[in-house]
Amino acid sequence: MPAGQETFVTEITPRSEDFSRWYTDVVRRAELADYSPVKGSMVIRPYGYAIWELMQAALDARLKATGHVNAYFPLFIPESLLRKEAAHVEGFAPEVAWVTHGGDEELEERLVVRPTSEAIIGTMYAKWIQSWRDLPILINQWANVVRWEKVTRLFLRTTEFLWQEGHTAHETEAEAEAEALRMLGVYKEFSERELAMPVLDGRKTESEKFAGAQVTYSIEALMGDGRALQAGTSHNLGQNFAKVFDITFQARDKSVQHVWQTSWGMTTRLIGGVIMTHGDDSGLILPPRIAPHQAVIVPIPRGNWQETVLPRAREIEQALTAAGVRVVLDDREVHSPGWKYAEWELRGVPLRIEIGPRDIARSQVMLARRDTREKAPAPIDGLAAHVGALLEEIQQALLERAVRFRDDHTARAASRDDFMQAFQGRPGFVIAAWCGGEACEAAIKAELQATIRNLPLEPAPASGPCLWCGQAGQTDAWFAKAY
């Protein structure tokens, strides 16, 4: 454990001073997660897990609405299954955790702690699929996976993380391609509507695609320091795994064919994405849709407040709860209102409701927004409806602010000098013409630490020659430094 990680965080480093340190300070000070005794693994604390549960519920509802069902597959995968698909095992080999013993006995065959589940699920699909009538299979699982990462960061990259992984099987190539793109669209809509995190959807290059996939699509978000974050991926696996695991079916014309497959996933790194998209020097700013507490009521303790203010505050709590607002009443006497304001700001609660003797006399409360810090009075009568509307307004405002940031940090390079100059520091997205060659892609990554985050979903002519080698451009690409 690096020095300092075991200490309690009492202050938050300013974003402008050290963005990386700011991020870690916020995660720990807001009690989202903490380091564990297991190298590279984190403990997700209750507040952080509550955010994940809200994300999970919102995404799970979307998956079920598109016809998918949940199942669960084993954590352990026999080595022989993983090695069946050559590109797949090569891609994951450096990150695999092995189980070699059961108790005191050495296993006859080593087991892999799943880094992903294509191998074990493909084996099961080969048993379950017999006819075209069995298709499509649309299965998702919520699970944990293990990838032995060398450099880790809370939520963003850990040895063990939580995710969902969808695995589907189809009759035709066109159906599989449509499914992969449909799920990419689900991810984009989820990210923007629930997380207020705008994303760029597109296609990965050959060198960046998932090991064993025919095509990989992704959504990329831009963080507050100008670096990109891959927020979700969707893969058209073609028939690669179907041929390896012999997943065949009797087609409508009585011939025997291999299925066409997809897989797709989102992980707990989205929590890190939300922090870095919306947070400020005071801590978290949570979009209302994923905030464990959408509003906090802070009574002002003056005079006989327990007989006057507190009963009114409890009535407001009950009214908001009945209206579906996730609200908490902070009636702790050991802390001052000012301390509570700072603490709930740190935790990113979208709306603070202040109520004191003067407010009661005026039949009002004071509402303070976390995103803008604006404060305004609101009548107690009809407060639940007003709060509900204000939470929707905050949700939309956060998205619009993030879109403006992304647009302000997206540039189009007109020359190689422009391109290189743009990557001094962490500028955001840079759009540039690319020849399609892996040599140029690798050279840019080596010299500038920038990668192609996505290519356009719809093929379009390049805006000019490749800005790196000068040869004919194949397409425009979105470059960025990334997490």
Are 29 and 131 members of one domain? yes
Q: Which structural domain range is residue 160 located in?
A: 19-76+122-278
Pair 75, 113: CB distance under 8 Å: yes
Structure tokens of 82?
């993983």
Are 138 and 256 members of one domain? yes
Q: Domain ends where: 249, 278, 307?
A: 278
- What's the pLDDT tens digit per position in 23-39? 999 999 999 999 999 98
Instruction: Classify residue 183 by its DSSP letter.
Output: H
Are 342 and 261 members of one domain? no
- Using CA atoms, how far apart are residues 168 and 232, in angstroms rounded to an integer? 17
Residue 316's nearest CA partner among 385, 368, 372, 371 is: 385
Is residue 90, in this structure, part of any structural domain at all?
A: no
Q: How many other C-beta atoms are found inside a 10 Å radius of the C-beta of residue 83? A: 15
Is residue 88, in this structure, part of any structural domain at all?
A: no
Alpha helices for 102-155 (secondary structure H): 118-128
Is residue 14, in this structure, part of any structural domain at all?
A: no
Query: What's residue 426's pLDDT?
Result: 67
- Using CA atoms, how far apart are residues 423 and 479, in angstroms rounded to an integer? 10
Is residue 3, in this structure, part of any structural domain at all?
A: no
CA 151, 153, 156 angle in degrees (round to 5)? 110
Are 415 and 383 members of one domain? no
Q: Domain ends where: 251, 278, 305?
A: 278
Are 317 and 379 members of one domain? yes
Please state the domain count of the chain.
3
Task: At 406, give phi and psi (nearest 5°).
Answer: -60, -45
- What's the pLDDT tens digit per position in 281-290? 999 999 999 9
Is residue 107, in this structure, part of any structural domain at all?
A: no
The CATH code of the domain that includes 258 is 3.30.930.10
Residue 478's nearest CA partner among 420, 432, 444, 413 is: 432
Pair 115, 92: CB distance under 8 Å: yes
Are 344 and 417 members of one domain? no
The CATH code of the domain that includes 431 is 3.30.110.30
Instruction: Classify residue 132 by its DSSP letter.
Output: G
Is residue 12, in this structure, part of any structural domain at all?
A: no
Are 57 and 190 members of one domain? yes
Q: What is the mean pLDDT of residues 100-123?
A: 95
Alpha helices for 380-468 (secondary structure H): 383-408, 416-422, 438-448
- What's the pLDDT tens digit per position in 241-288? 999 999 999 999 999 999 999 999 999 999 999 999 999 999 999 999
Are 184 and 254 members of one domain? yes
Q: How far apart are the first and last CA of the chain?
A: 21
Are 301 and 374 members of one domain? yes
Query: What's residue 25's pLDDT?
Result: 97
pTM: 0.94
Are 228 and 136 members of one domain? yes
- What's the pLDDT tens digit per position in 197-228? 999 999 999 999 998 899 999 999 999 999 99
Pair 217, 204: CB distance under 8 Å: yes
Structure tokens of 169?
């099987």
- Using CA atoms, how far apart are residues 18 and 11, in angstroms rounded to an integer? 13
Pair 166, 263: CB distance under 8 Å: yes
Is residue 384, in this structure, part of any structural domain at all?
A: yes
Is residue 92, in this structure, part of any structural domain at all?
A: no
Q: What is the mean pLDDT of residues 76-98?
A: 85
Are 204 and 328 members of one domain? no
Q: Taking 60 as the threshold, does the pLDDT of residue 3 lie above it?
A: no
Are 27 and 156 members of one domain? yes
The CATH code of the domain that includes 369 is 3.40.50.800
- Using CA atoms, how far apart are residues 284 and 281, in angstroms rounded to an integer? 8
